[in-house]
């Protein structure tokens, strides 16, 4: 990445931080499902010096994150102030390049990634490096559960195990033959297509089990269809914990995950790499057992704004309309872009969010409302089948002809599910895609890992032309890598080792575009993916064409303590 692009993404990282502050000043919505309100906690008078020192370190980190420039709009720093700050920091770029290049202890260039064997060899080497680093910390007494009952890990990561249930076990869900993972997902209703993610995940487990499993045990995925209904998610999570005795949990959907992540953290159960990009999953302090995987929706919102600024310069400021799914998922997008618009009135003159019922069979009324506002930019902030409906309705209404650009969200990048069925109506739509490769895209199908997974699907009677089956591998692969790492740590596979591994993962992900990192870092960096492509869809070739450079701001997104009642991150 060039110095100029690094400066751009430092700007975006800083803007993201202040956009979240701005979002925290906004309003919430009326959806009670999944209230993720948390409390940072208070100190008691008898805390020891170590706690005081930790507090001082946190305050120092917070001070360093605050801008020296006070020029801001509604809590969000102005673009002008960011550009001035970048000019001052230009001399630091060489040092940053060295830090980025040295972050991964295994040199990828030493491996032949043009073959599947080379990818497996790299994966083994990276696991070994993570195991070595964590083992050294555990043996030195810096990591692991101490005599005080505190689980400690890299970069200040801590969990007070004294607060876990009295009947909690570190090895629940691990039998002599199985490692049991519980999952809630959606297999029915408007988001039913996402059920194929589970099918793809199970297919990867079949391969893993056929090649020896993990630590000599078979991986088992116990999945429940919650229909994207948060109340049903709560019931199934109770069942998976109490009846199925699962080792870890995985959930899909922002409102669904928000509905249960407080409980899951109270139960001290790993909830790793959930299938949602809500910013709340970047909260290793208040919700240490929960991690996301994909790019945060707040980051995506910022990148929409930056694309508009860079590519519609002759039209600025522009009027932007957002078609927003009316739940916690859509709210994250809405708050993120609202914050950007508020901080950048020279880019966005007006932001018009129009919400829709997640279960609505059509979006005609909502798109008609948007068309009447005559926006310059349309952004679909929805998921599942409504993504397809939005593309069709925008074209049918005639709105597409008058727009400067139309965006579909990263969660609807799947060609077979959402773009191809729209036919010519999907042509030239844009996406901030989070760097995920579509495993049916002609430009990727011959890559070694994608060729491998397509063969695995076909060999077991599944259609490799279903994009979301490949997405199942996108989630299952790194999740399994974290379990493999945990199994090699002192004490073997345990829940505490699994969460330490998950919070330390720094690997090559073969389903991410080259140039995008996949890494987390203890309590400092709660997000694995903080980069993206900017791509435009070609309906004739049924492919996403990357336009411009792949960007990555790994480690640049601030963690998020989500407070829905106060409108966003704290």
Pairing of strands 178-185, 218-225: parallel
Q: Residues 394-405: what's their mean pLDDT? A: 95
Q: Where are the domains of the chain?
A: 1-42+73-79+296-432+533-570, 124-295+446-528
**Between 75 and 24, whose confidence is greater?**
24
pLDDT at res. 107:
92
Give the 3-state secondary structure of residue 334: helix
pLDDT beyond 70 at 344: yes
Torsions phi, psi of 542, nearest 5?
50, 55
What is the distance between the alpha carbons of residues 73 and 256, in angstroms, rounded to a whole number?
33
pLDDT in tens, 299-310: 999 999 999 999
Instruction: Give 465 or 106, the one with higher predicted confidence.
Output: 465
Please state, rounded to an integer, the average pLDDT across all residues of the chain. Answer: 85
Please, what CATH class does the domain formed by 1-42+73-79+296-432+533-570 belong to?
Answer: alpha beta
Task: Tell me the fold of 124-295+446-528.
Answer: Rossmann fold (3.40.50)
CA distance 542 to 335: 32
CB 544 within 8 A of CB 413: yes
Asked whether the domain spanning 124-295+446-528 has the same topology as the one spanning 1-42+73-79+296-432+533-570, the reply is yes
pLDDT tens-digit map of 510-569: 999 999 999 999 999 999 999 999 999 999 999 999 999 888 988 888 889 988 777 678
Contact call for residues 278 and 337 (beta carbons, < 8 A): no
d(CA 506, CA 528): 8
- For residue 22, give the 3-state DSSP assignment: helix
pLDDT digits (tens, 9 = 90+) for 368-393: 999 999 999 999 999 999 999 999 99
Distance CA 195, CA 479 (A): 18
pLDDT of residue 568: 75
The pLDDT, as a whole number, for residue 569 is 81
Kindly state the percentage of the chain with pLDDT values over 70: 82
> What is the reported pLDDT for 98?
34
Q: What is the pLDDT of residue 567?
A: 62
Question: Tokens 């208070």 label which residue?
Answer: 42
More confident call, 483 vs 84: 483
Helices 195-210 and 448-459 meet at what angle, rounded to 10? 90
22-55 residue pLDDT tens: 443 333 333 333 333 333 333 333 434 444 444 4
SS3 labels along 32-101: CCCCCCCCCCCCCCCCCHHHHHHHHHHHHHHHHHCCCCCCEECCEECHHHHHHHHHHHHHHHHHHHHHHH
Region class of 360: left (phi > 0), else alpha (psi between -120 and 50), else beta: beta
- Kindly state the helix (H) or strand (E) to which residue 532 belongs, with its residue range: strand 531-532
Residues 269-286, mean pLDDT to the nearest whole number: 96
Specify the pairing of strand 534-538 against strand 430-432. Answer: antiparallel
Q: Name residue, tokens 């701001």.
A: 553
For residues 281-290, average pLDDT:
96
Q: Average pLDDT of 187-204?
A: 95
DSSP 558: P
Say yes or no to pLDDT of 257 above 50.
Answer: yes
What is the structure's pLDDT at 34? 34
pLDDT of 4 strictly over 70: no
pTM confidence score: 0.83
Q: State residue 29's pLDDT score.
A: 35
């Amino acid at each position: 990445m060039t110095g100029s692009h690094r400066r751009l993404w430092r700007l975006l990282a800083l803007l993201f931080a202040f956009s979240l502050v701005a979002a925290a000043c906004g309003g919430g919505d009326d959806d009670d499902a999944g209230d993720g309100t948390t409390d940072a906690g208070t100190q008691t008078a008898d805390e020891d010096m170590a706690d005081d020192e930790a507090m001082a370190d946190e305050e120092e980190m917070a001070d360093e994150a605050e801008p020296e420039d006070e020029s801001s709009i509604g809590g969000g720093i102005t673009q002008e102030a960011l550009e001035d700050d970048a000019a001052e920091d230009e001399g630091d770029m060489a040092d940053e390049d060295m830090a980025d290049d040295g972050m991964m202890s295994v040199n990828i260039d030493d491996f032949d990634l043009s073959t599947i064997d080379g990818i497996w060899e790299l994966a083994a080497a990276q696991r070994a490096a993570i195991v070595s680093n964590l083992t050294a910390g555990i043996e030195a007494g810096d990591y692991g559960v101490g005599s005080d009952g505190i689980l400690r890990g890299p970069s200040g990561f801590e969990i007070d195990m004294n607060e876990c249930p009295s009947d909690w076990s570190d090895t629940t869900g691990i039998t002599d033959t199985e490692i049991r993972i519980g999952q809630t997902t959606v297999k029915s209703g408007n988001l039913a297509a996402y059920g194929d993610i589970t099918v793809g995940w199970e297919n990867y487990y079949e391969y893993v089990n056929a090649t020896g499993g993990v630590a000599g045990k078979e991986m088992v995925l116990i999945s429940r269809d919650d229909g994207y209904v948060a109340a049903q998610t709560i019931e199934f999570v109770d069942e998976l914990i109490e009846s199925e005795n699962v080792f870890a949990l995985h959930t899909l959907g922002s409102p669904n995950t928000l509905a249960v992540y407080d409980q899951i953290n109270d139960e001290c159960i790993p909830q790793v790499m959930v299938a949602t990009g809500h910013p709340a999953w970047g909260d290793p302090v208040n919700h240490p057992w929960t991690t996301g995987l994909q790019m945060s929706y707040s980051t995506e919102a910022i990148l929409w704004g930056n694309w508009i600024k860079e590519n519609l310069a002759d039209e600025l400021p522009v009027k932007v309309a957002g078609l927003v799914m009316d739940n916690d998922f859509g709210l994250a997008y809405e708050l993120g872009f609202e914050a950007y618009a508020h901080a950048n009135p020279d880019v966005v003159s007006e932001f018009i969010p129009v919400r829709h019922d997640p279960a609505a069979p059509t979006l005609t009324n909502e798109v008609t409302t948007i068309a009447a506002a005559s926006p310059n930019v349309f952004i679909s902030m929805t998921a599942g089948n409504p993504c397809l409906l939005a593309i069709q309705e925008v074209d049918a209404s005639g709105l597409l002809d008058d727009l400067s650009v139309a965006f579909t969200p990263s969660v609807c990048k799947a060609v077979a599910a959402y773009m191809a069925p729209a036919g010519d109506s999907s042509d030239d739509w844009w996406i901030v895609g989070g760097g995920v490769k579509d495993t049916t895209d002609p430009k990727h199908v011959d890559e070694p890992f994608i060729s491998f997974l397509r063969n695995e699907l076909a060999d077991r009677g599944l259609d490799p032309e279903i994009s979301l089956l490949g997405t199942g591998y996108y989630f299952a692969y790194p999740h399994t890598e974290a379990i493999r790492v945990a199994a090699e740590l002192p004490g073997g596979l345990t829940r505490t080792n699994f969460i330490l591994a998950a919070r330390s993962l720094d690997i090559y992900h073969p389903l991410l575009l080259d140039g995008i990192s996949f890494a987390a870092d203890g309590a400092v960096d709660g997000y694995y993916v903080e980069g993206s492509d900017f791509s435009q869809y070609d309906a004739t070739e049924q492919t996403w064409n990357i336009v411009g450079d792949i960007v990555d701001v790994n480690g640049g997104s601030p963690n998020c303590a989500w407070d829905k009642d106060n409108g966003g991150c704290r």
